[in-house]
Structure 1
């Protein structure tokens, strides 16, 4: 699978931020993994409960195979969160886990916060087969030609879709930290004939915060891999 990069590939990383600068909302999903690279890099989703400024913050207990994860006091975890158009990253260590009144964990108050702005203009060119579902028709095999945070360019038979038609397709994401399948709902916004084929510009419907974070990871990861290459 070939990828090329459109737009600049060096997103600005902001440092020196405080925990308060993130403006985390109660119930927001946080994603955590062990900081130690020798440990299994399983990614856990937890919910933010609250914080005592300068002391600690609380999350729900991570779950693995339908059981609460054993939390070793002093173990460091790397956290990621998406709020607004920024992805935040910080490291924190386990202070204590509790089971009452419900399973939750105290983590140390982070000293350093990094933020990276999600650039909607980033676009990755690719040739990725996708199966597209649409109302009133059987799934149509197509080719995704590029992808951004706001939409994609799809190549498919000419006149198979109309402008403003609603579509959906599944985007598999496989990376070291993330493994999931995103169901992306979109609307056809443009159409250009290419002989027997056509290029359809689609705009994504509003993404859930979790899906937006995963999509950002995938685009950012692809851009980084191309830069290294």
Structure 2
């Protein structure tokens, strides 16, 4: 039986800044403490100067930037795919419209938890899979992580040791523009069962393949990292 609990976490521990593996364009959770109850927002990392400051986009709410003041205390939470880290910081300088970004103090202490496995997110994404001289086969991706995917195919695949080519489209937040992901993957396991979500009801059985990504581009890794983190924060039912 598949559990709805997220991947098991270890106890809280201290992390070095480099261990967070921050990526430009990566989504972060931006938590303000201006009211009794902390308010959570999503933001994007623009860059940083080591030991000096971070540069992040000012979160948007109802089509406008949230109100910030210099000196405001914040908590930033970062997800790397296999770790969840958080740290306290403060607003150093605000750059308003049309730039809408802010300098934050560099973290003095970082704490977090390591996940025993990369978190997987339930999805339903059409994709194309090809290998050797075989024409591209339409498949569905039913879960995704930064390290691989679970795909459903209508027939048996017989790739060699060189693996397969997988192509699919992700929606990039916050504007939901489409980005095509093309990557190599290696099939790790295969099983036969019923289609998920009632797809292809006329098909009696479907082949399910667990694949591991090979040399995923850093930009695409960040996209998958963001997808997983937003599901972790906003919709934990999607976590496998």
> Which residue is 1:77 aligned to?
74
Are residues 150 and 131 of structure 1, via their aligned partners in 2, closer, same or farther at CA, if it must alter by over 3 Å?
A: same
> Which residue is 1:47 aligned to?
47
> Which residue is 2:3 aligned to?
5
Point out where structure 1 has 5 or more consecutive residues left out of the alignment: 52-56
- Partner deviation per Cα, 1:43-95 (whole Å, 9 max, x = no partner): 232211121xxxxx312363679xx9985202233323456953321121112
- 1:211 corresponds, among 205, 223, 228, to 223
> Which residue is 1:170 aligned to?
169
Please give the alpha-carbon distance, in whole angstroms, between the structure 2 residues aligned to 1:217 and 1:61: 17
Are residues 88 and 140 of structure 1, via their aligned partners in 2, closer, same or farther at CA, if it must alter by over 3 Å?
A: same
With normalisation by structure 2, the TM-score equals: 0.59
Please give the alpha-carbon distance, in whole angstroms, between the structure 1 residues aligned to 2:158 and 2:172: 26
**Does residue 1:134 correspond to 2:134, yes or no?**
no
1:41 positional shift: 2.3
Residue pairs, 1:43-192, within 5 angstroms? 43-51=43-51, 57-60=52-55, 62=57, 72-81=69-78, 85-97=82-94, 106-110=103-107, 112-120=109-117, 122=119, 126=122, 128-135=123-130, 137=135, 140-142=138-140, 144=142, 146-159=143-156, 162-163=159-160, 164-171=163-170, 183=181, 185-189=183-187, 190-192=189-191
> Which residue is 1:54 aligned to?
none
Please give the alpha-carbon distance, in whole angstroms, between the structure 2 residues aligned to 1:186 and 1:71: 43
> Which residue is 1:202 aligned to?
211
Aligned length: 209
Are residues 134 and 113 of structure 1, via their aligned partners in 2, closer, same or farther at CA, if it must alter by over 3 Å?
A: same
The answer to whether the 8 A contact 2:128-2:168 is kept is: yes
Are residues 178 and 24 of structure 1, via their aligned partners in 2, closer, same or farther at CA, if it must alter by over 3 Å?
A: farther
Please give the alpha-carbon distance, in whole angstroms, between the structure 2 residues aligned to 1:121 and 1:171: 19
Q: If each structure's strand is expressed as a fraction of its own residues, which one has the higher value?
A: 1
1:40 positional shift: 7.7
Point out where structure 2 has 5 or more consecutive residues left out of the alignment: 194-203
Are residues 63 and 167 of structure 1, via their aligned partners in 2, closer, same or farther at CA, if it must alter by over 3 Å?
A: same
RMSD between aligned alpha carbons?
A: 4.8
